[in-house]
């Protein structure tokens, strides 16, 4: 089926790790039917974070964002599935949790825009760029999921 191989980059930010929400977030993506193909637990370097958020470098909150993301470990993941980028963004909710609907990760699990617990790619192009930035090709695992017929028909 076309589109099943689409991938997105999802990162649980330091506040999500500190609040022990990693399992809950993974559960939501797995229950939806997406396949985890890469994951690492790391303390991201400032250089990696500056490159990841380079599109925001001229914004007044950039330095604070880098400091916050560098303040503790993150869980970087690659998820695969049909329309995973778009659906993943819907699952995350709005950047500002106050604007997020109940049932979304941010709507259910966080309160303030500066501590919104999770990052998700906003397009297929940015997903590919972010995946290449955070993962080496050999760190991603391709495999046939035995539940694909149940999920995709």
Gyration radius of the chain over CA positions: 15
Q: pLDDT tens digits, residue range 2-20?
A: 446 799 999 999 999 999 9
Q: pLDDT tens digits, residue range 30-55?
A: 999 999 999 999 999 999 999 999 99
Report the alpha-carbon distance of residue 145 to residue 103 in Å, rounded.
26
Q: What is the mean pLDDT of residues 107-112?
A: 95
Contact indicator for 16, 118 with CB cutoff of 8 Å: yes
Contact indicator for 141, 38 with CB cutoff of 8 Å: yes
Indicate the pLDDT class of residue 145, thresholds 50, 70 and 90: confident
Q: What is the mean pLDDT of residues 70-92?
A: 97
89 pLDDT more than 90: yes
Residues designated catalytic:
119
State yes or no: 95 annotated in a binding site. yes
State yes or no: 89 annotated in a binding site. yes
Tokens of residue 86, six digits = 């778009």
* Beta bridge partners of residue 79, listed in sequence order: 8, 36
Q: What is the pTM of this model?
A: 0.93
CA distances from 119 to 5, 11, 148, 150 (A): 20, 5, 26, 28
CA distances from 73 to 97, 124, 150 (A): 21, 25, 35
Q: pLDDT tens digits, residue range 114-138?
A: 999 999 999 999 999 999 999 999 9
State yes or no: 145 annotated in a binding site. no
State yes or no: 104 annotated in a binding site. no
């Amino acid at each position: 089926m076309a589109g099943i191989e689409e991938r997105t980059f999802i990162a649980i930010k330091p506040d999500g790790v500190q609040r022990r929400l990693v399992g809950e977030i993974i559960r939501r993506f797995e229950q939806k039917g997406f396949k985890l193909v890469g994951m690492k637990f790391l303390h991201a370097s400032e250089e990696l974070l500056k490159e990841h958020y380079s599109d925001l470098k001229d914004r007044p909150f950039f330095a604070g964002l880098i400091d916050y993301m560098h303040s503790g470990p993150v869980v970087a993941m690659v998820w695969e599935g049909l329309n995973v980028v778009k659906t993943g963004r819907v699952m995350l909710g709005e950047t500002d949790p106050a604007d997020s609907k109940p049932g979304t990760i941010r709507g259910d699990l966080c309160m303030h825009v500066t501590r919104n617990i999770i990052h998700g790619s906003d397009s297929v192009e940015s997903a590919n760029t972010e995946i290449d930035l955070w993962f080496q090709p050999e760190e991603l695992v391709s495999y046939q999921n035995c539940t694909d017929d149940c999920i995709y028909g």
